[in-house]
Amino acid sequence: MYMRIIWGRLRPGQWEPYEEAYKRVLGPHRDIAGLQGRWLVRDLADPDAGYSVSLWTSQEAMHEYERSDLFHKTVKPALQPFFADDFTTTHCEVRVMEKFGD
């Protein structure tokens, strides 16, 4: 399993519009090859910052999504305007995974 983690700082006061845009743009796209799940999380200490986390079956699937028309023509143009030009993308290998309860 592989994880793509994006940390970003939004323009002040833009979290709610960003979250709505995130759900509107990405919500319909659940059948992306290799995508196992995704989370949008808001920083409790900094309400203008947060993370987008996605879980992938392979590095190839993760990178294929990043090269796709969906990402470049739909996702990126819709979400990038909310960012204050302060974000990073990290690709990780999941080494230990534990799930508790339901």
Domain annotation covers residue 51: yes
Domain annotation covers residue 67: yes
DSSP code for 71: I
Domain annotation covers residue 101: no
Domain annotation covers residue 98: no
Domain annotation covers residue 100: no
pLDDT at position 6 is: 95
Q: What is the largest CA-CA distance in the chain?
A: 38
pLDDT at position 35 is: 97
Of 68, 97, 87, the residue nearest 5 (C-alpha): 87
What is the CATH number for 24?
A: 3.30.70.100
Tally of domains in the chain: 1
pLDDT at position 99 is: 86
pLDDT at position 24 is: 96
Of 64, 72, 50, 47, the residue nearest 5 (C-alpha): 50
Cα–Cα distances in angstroms (integers) from residue 101 to residues 13, 81, 98, in the given order: 35, 38, 10
Domain annotation covers residue 102: no
Give backbone dihedrals phi and psi of 93, rounded to 5 degrees, phi first.
-100, 130
Q: Mean pLDDT, consecutive 10-residue segments, the chain of 102 residues?
A: 96 96 93 96 97 97 96 95 90 94 78
pLDDT at position 62 is: 96
